[in-house]
Amino acid sequence: MIKVIELSALIYCLFLPTMSFSFNKKERLKSKKQIEKLFKEGKSVSRFPLKLFYIPVEDAEVQFKVAVSVPKRNFKKAVDRNRIKRLMREAYRLNKQVIFNNIEGNFALLILYLGKDLPRYRDVENSLIGVLHKLVKEIQ
């Protein structure tokens, strides 16, 4: 039996052979200044339980720098927070072609989990796809 994640990755590989499905260090947003700027000046789009903050950036190392966050207020155990972050990163990694193929320019993104319950991967992926489509509409 093939898992949902493996099947979706297989389908993407068949249709988009030139797209890389990695999420390497260069694509990760780690700058505290940029993260603070995202919360202060960034615009946002949301689809429960995810909220995505974004701002255009000048440096052209990569097209998108992405960070994920889960508030400690909602999930006291680090194990739960880390699992949710892993799910969000995996959903982004497999579905990032939605924004890479439709948006010009460089952006910093922060994906924030707003829910109070532990999610299933399918729910996170559906919400992330919806948020990415809203982002594409807003930027264009």
Residue spans of the domains in the chain: they are 4-139
Count other Cβ atoms within 10 Å, centred on residue 112: 19
pLDDT value at position 14?
52
Judge whether 84 and 129 are in contact, CB under 8 Å. Answer: no
pLDDT value at position 3?
53
Per residue in 57-103, pLDDT (tens digit) is 887 678 888 999 999 999 999 999 999 999 999 999 998 888 888 88
Look at residue 18 and tell me whether its pLDDT is greater than 50: yes
pLDDT value at position 1?
45
What's the average model confidence in pLDDT over 21-47? 87
Mean per-residue pLDDT over the chain, rounded: 84
Does the reported pTM lie above 0.75?
yes
Is the domain 4-139 a CATH 3.40.50.300 member? no
Task: Report the percent of the chain where pLDDT is more than 70.
Answer: 86
The DSSP secondary structure of the chain, one letter per residue, reads ---HHHHHHHHHHHH-TTS-----GGGB---HHHHHHHHHH-EEEEETTEEEEEEE-S--S-SEEEEEE--TTT--SHHHHHHHHHHHHHHHHHHTHHHHTT--S-EEEEEEE--SSPPPHHHHHHHHHHHHHHHHHHH-
- The residue among 58 and 113 whose pLDDT is bigger is 113
